[in-house]
């Protein structure tokens, strides 16, 4: 279970509230998308920027291109690689049918091409009508985590998660066999909370 998947049903400690927890994830995604696509996006407008689905579909196509390049360089991979991109309407306006269609197509791409599990998926209204922002954010993070396996730039949260996982693996190698299961369980279950808390503290968001 990844740190992101664990976040779908974990408590928000040591965050002061679930809103603070969500804020930290949205902030990380906004900074990453802004750098990746050179757009004006931040924690306050991220949902508004993404609600037409156009950038989501463009991102899906970008991930697919990176996966194709990875396949050409390395040959068949152990991780699932997206094979098909999306056709979308870049001029769609918020809450319109075209915008909903864009978002729905992105959701289908996440399921089919990236095999995102249902626990981390969102529905169209979760974004368009803000019914479940957390599920939407968790889905984007999971797409980013999986895409990082074949060379896609990833948010800081994913980078920190990977660094911590590597440190855990290194520590496990030096532990007696009887100590390994307990040590692994403790660290992995708290992984997502650890990296988000570090991220939050670094920005002094209270």
Q: Confirm whether 117 is domain-assigned.
A: yes
Q: Confirm whether 198 is domain-assigned.
A: no
pLDDT for the residue 186: 36
Distance, first Cα to last Cα, the chain: 29
**Ordered mean pLDDT values, 10 residues apiece, the chain (206 residues):** 47 61 92 97 97 98 96 85 96 96 98 94 96 94 94 90 77 64 41 51 46
Q: Confirm whether 133 is domain-assigned.
A: yes
pLDDT for the residue 204: 47
Q: Confirm whether 145 is domain-assigned.
A: yes
Q: Confirm whether 61 is domain-assigned.
A: yes
Q: Confirm whether 195 is domain-assigned.
A: no
pLDDT for the residue 206: 38
Please check whether residue 57 is in contact with residue 105, taking contact to mean a CB–CB distance below 8 angstroms: yes
Q: Confirm whether 203 is domain-assigned.
A: no
Distance CA 157, CA 162 (A): 9
pLDDT for the residue 184: 41
Q: Could you give the number of structural domains in the chain?
A: 1
pLDDT for the residue 41: 97
Domain of 74 in residue numbering reads as 18-167
CATH classification at residue 127: 1.10.418.10
Q: Confirm whether 128 is domain-assigned.
A: yes
pLDDT for the residue 136: 96
Q: 148-189 pLDDT, tens per residue?
A: 999 999 999 888 887 877 777 777 776 665 555 444 433 333
Distance CA 167, CA 188 (A): 11
């Amino acid at each position: 279970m990844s740190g992101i998947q664990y976040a779908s049903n974990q408590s928000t400690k040591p965050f002061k509230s679930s809103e603070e927890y969500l804020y930290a994830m949205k902030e990380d995604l906004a900074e990453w998308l802004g750098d990746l696509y050179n757009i004006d996006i931040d924690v306050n407008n991220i949902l508004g920027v993404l609600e037409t689905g156009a950038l989501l579909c463009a991102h899906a196509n970008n991930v697919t291109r990176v996966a194709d390049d990875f396949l050409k360089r390395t040959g068949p991979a152990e991780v699932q690689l997206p094979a098909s991109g999306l056709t979308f309407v870049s001029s769609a306006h918020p809450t319109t049918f075209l915008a909903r269609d864009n978002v729905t197509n992105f959701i289908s791409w996440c399921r089919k091409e990236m095999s995102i599990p249902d626990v981390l998926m969102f529905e169209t209204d979760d974004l368009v009508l803000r019914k479940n922002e957390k599920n939407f954010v968790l889905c984007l993070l999971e797409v980013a985590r999986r895409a990082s396996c074949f060379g896609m730039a990833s948010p800081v949260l994913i980078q920190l998660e990977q660094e911590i996982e590597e440190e855990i693996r290194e520590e496990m190698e030096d532990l007696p066999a009887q100590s390994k299961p307990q040590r692994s369980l403790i660290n992995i279950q708290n992984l997502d909370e650890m990296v988000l808390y570090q991220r939050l503290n670094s920005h002094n968001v209270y």
